[in-house]
Amino acid sequence: MPSIATRIETVRRRIREAEIAADRGPGSVTLLAVSKMQSVEALRQAVAAGQREFGENYLQEAADKQDQLADLAGLHWHFIGPLQSNKTKAAAARFDWVHSVDRLKLARRLDAQRPDGLPPLNICLQVNISDESSKAGLSPADTLALAGEIGQFERLRLRGLMAIPAPTDDPEEQRQPFRALRELRDRLNRRWGLQLDTLSMGMSADLEVAIAEGATIVRVGTDVFGPRPSPAAKP
């Protein structure tokens, strides 16, 4: 089985090739290693390979890892999972990014609970871009409205949009929701005079198409760490 360092280099090569194919500059896309249910040792191996951006879905699991990795400088933590209103305090205090803001109440609590002395919390609005009843996220219309409200919060910095489109193996079908998210981001910028610079979209199976449509952060788990451990083996 390839090492984590080898896997990371392979994913970075894919990203570079996709940037070239899309006529985008080198380094325009950030690799976010999705590390949920991965061991602290696996994260240390990723850090040794130069990875600094990590995405977590579960607050307590993430807090445990952050505490055990406190000796490592320069790590950036992204919360990418569903966030309940009564659990925003840990997200506001421990993370650099929250990708899954989908209602005003969450934004208000994150702003109020962001500790003094920390820079504004980077946030993305999560959009249900494929209109799936089983998925969280805002409709495009609600995204437009919420984006206009975020400016009132001094401790939040709205950076862009996140989506998890319905899975498909067809490249053209993959492309459509990514394009729709980019176009929605552009509408927000025009409507509210914003300068949103982030599209968090694309995973192991579709990162090339996402990059072609403007992704700036791709969230990759399996192709970085290998198959995810079973819940029984969760660290």
Compute the C-alpha angle 230/232/233, nearest 5°: 70
Q: What is the architecture, at CATH level 2, of domain 4-227?
A: Alpha-Beta Barrel (3.20)
Give 136's contacts (C-beta < 8 A, 6+ positions apart): 82, 100, 102, 126, 128
Cα torsion angle, 188, 190, 195, 200, sign: positive
Q: Is the dihedral of CA 69, 9, 213, 164 positive or negative?
A: negative
Query: Which residue is associated with the tokens 């409709």?
Result: 139
Q: Which amino acid is at 95?
A: F
126 has which bridge partners?
162
**Full pLDDT tens readout for the chain, 235 residues:** 899 999 999 999 999 999 999 999 999 999 999 999 999 999 999 999 999 999 999 999 999 999 999 999 999 999 999 999 999 999 999 999 999 999 999 999 999 999 999 999 999 999 999 888 778 899 999 999 999 999 899 999 999 999 999 888 888 898 999 999 999 999 999 999 999 999 999 999 999 999 999 999 999 999 999 988 766 544 4
- Tokens at residue 128, please? 């249900």
- Output the CA–CA distances (angstroms, integers) from residue 137 to 20, 31, 48, 63, 149, in the order listed: 31, 22, 34, 24, 16
Which residues have a Cβ under 8 Å from the Cβ of 6 and sit 6 or more positions away? none
Q: Give the 3-state secondary structure of residue 115.
A: coil
In this structure, the number of other CB atoms found within 10 A of the CB of residue 12 comes to 17
Q: Domain residue spans in the chain?
A: 4-227
